[in-house]
Amino acid sequence: MSAKAPGIRGSLQAKSRKNKRGNGITDQEVKDVEELATRYDCRLVVVTAQDGAWRKDPFAASALYRLVEDDARWRIYRLAAVPKSAPP
């Protein structure tokens, strides 16, 4: 993840959250992913097998990011769409 967003990394790896969705992704994780795209202009994300997000990948559930490479050691996502709430 971007070096600009160290606080986001920790929030994505948090183990216990409220408001879980049916896919195991929380409302807060959805907001975190959207914030990476809009606030931090994060266009590329690498999730590794060591990341807390590996088992419950919020990028896989996001319409904002598209999987471009899937390996046993990492997944690479590219920004597919900028949300409407993004600044011009």
Q: List, for residues 44-79, the tens digit of each pLDDT value.
A: 999 999 988 888 899 998 999 999 999 999 999 999
Read off the pTM: 0.68
**86 occurs within a structural domain:** no
Residue 68 belongs to domain spanning: 6-79
- In DSSP terms, 76 is beta-bridged to 46, 69
What's the domain count of the chain? 1
- Secondary structure (3-state) at 41: coil
- Secondary structure (3-state) at 11: helix
**61 occurs within a structural domain:** yes
The 10 Å CB-count burial string (b at 16+, else e) for 58-72 is bbebbebbeeeeeee
